[in-house]
A and B are shown apart, each in its own frame.
Chain A
Amino acid sequence: KNQVEQSPQSLIILEGKNCTLQCNYTVSPFSNLRWYKQDTGRGPVSLTIMTFSENTKSNGRYTATLDADTKQSSLHITASQLSDSASYICVVPQGYGGSQGNLIFGKGTKLSVKP
């Protein structure tokens, strides 16, 4: 069964600290994995897309990793800020190219950054 599992479900950290969010997937065929940030009551915004051949990709203070062998991805947030408080959603499309209409969504990790 195609699934995307995220952990932890929620996380509270102090401002300035680092944290790592996990995503495990069992989607086949696999072509890429996406991380989105969703502020409360807003639409998700893309943070990064990891393709099959990429191991690490950074976007400012966000660094995503992908291990296609173990089917795991992580999102590392460095020097957290209050504005990082949001839900982070891992998404894996099933299929290739234009057939990627079937997106498998994780339930998200809700991150709260406290001052």
Chain B
Amino acid sequence: DGGITQSPKYLFRKEGQNVTLSCEQNLNHDAMYWYRQDPGQGLRLIYYSQIVNDFQKGDIAEGYSVSREKKESFPLTVTSAQKNPTAFYLCATKTVEAGNTIYFGEGSWLTVV
């Protein structure tokens, strides 16, 4: 079944902990993205990667880290430095085919307890 798989769907983090959100895709898309969505707000870009072993900071990268060791995988780590991490996190991919359409995963809810 092709697509973008995000896990876990729900995650609870204690203050001071680092947590990692997984994003795996089998669409063979080169570009991958992480967005954060807060209630009543537009999506905000955290990090993106155009190719393996390369990634760029987005608008709100502070307190987050990523890696892109494989084309299929783009995990996001929410570090303890992120002071307000409770949000809905969306992973996305893009291909220059199909008119540069962005495809989104199903999202992960992160809550600080």
Contacts and interface: CB of A to CB of B under 8 A. Distances in A.
B110 interface: no
Interface in B7-49: 31, 33, 40-45, 48
B40 A93 contact: no
Interface string B94-113: 10100111111111010000
A103 B48 CA distance: 11
B110 to A, nearest CB: 13
Contacts of B44: 105
Size range of the chain B interface in the assembly: 20 to 34
B76 interface: no
Contacts of A89: 42-43
Contact of B101 (A46, A101, A102, A107): A46
A100 B6 CA distance: 23
B42 A101 contact: no
Chain A interface size, under 10 / 10 to 19 / 20 to 34 / 35 or more:
20 to 34
B66 interface: no
B109 A41 contact: yes
Interface centre among B6, B41, B92, B102 (most CB of A within 10 A): B102
Contacts of A106: 42
B65 interface: no
Given A89-B42, A105-B42, A106-B42, A98 B104 contact: no
Contact of A101 (B43, B48, B88): B48
5 contacts: A100-B100, A101-B50, A101-B56, A105-B42, A107-B40
Interface of A: 4, 9, 32, 34, 36, 41-46, 49, 51, 89, 91, 93, 97-98, 100-103, 105-108
Interface of B: 4, 6, 31, 33, 40-45, 48, 50, 56, 88, 90, 92, 94, 96, 99-107, 109
